Amino acid sequence: MKMELTISTDAIDEAALAKRREMGDGMGAVICFLGVVRGSEGDAPITAIDYEAHEQMARHQFGLIFDAIEKRWPVESVRLIHRIGVVPVNEPSLWVEVVAPHRPEAFDACQFLIDEMKKKVPIWKKPLSV
């Protein structure tokens, strides 16, 4: 399974990512998920979220999750970008792409990846308001 992980302060460029997509002939499903910063945290309006990561550990933990996906589903590739630093409202903080032969395993692997990330990958958010 091909794995690509980026943790960066750069904005996520969906068009550029789509252009770089590589798929084998047997692949019939591509799931792309975007996690976008909402304009409120609880009841309070916010303007952005400041993301902090323990980057070395985050990379390791993402690697363990990718390994678990590889063992469980016939996924051809996973690409994931998580932004750190200040991400304004309406901009994506997370982009995930899973390429697999069929829809069920692509959806299941994508859901698993994000669920596990939210339990294990050391990234935190600090909501910012005006």
| Residues in contact with other proteins by the rule CB under 8 A | 35, 51-54, 56-61, 82, 93-94, 114, 117-126
Q: Taking the complex as a whole, how short is the minimal distance between the CB of residue 88 and other proteins, in angstroms?
A: 16
Q: Contact 70/82 with Cβ under 8 angstroms?
A: no
Q: Taking the complex as a whole, how short is the minimal distance between the CB of residue 120 and other proteins, in angstroms?
A: 7
DSSP β-ladder status, 77-83 and 2-8: parallel
Q: Taking the complex as a whole, how short is the minimal distance between the CB of residue 12 and other proteins, in angstroms?
A: 13
Q: In 3-state terms, the chain is what percent helix, strand and coil (to 5)?
A: 30, 40, 30
**In this complex, which beta carbon is closest to other proteins, that of residue 106 or of residue 121?**
121
Query: Among candidates 114, 95, 118, which has minimal Cα distance to 6?
Result: 95
**In this complex, which beta carbon is closest to other proteins, that of residue 27 or of residue 69?**
69
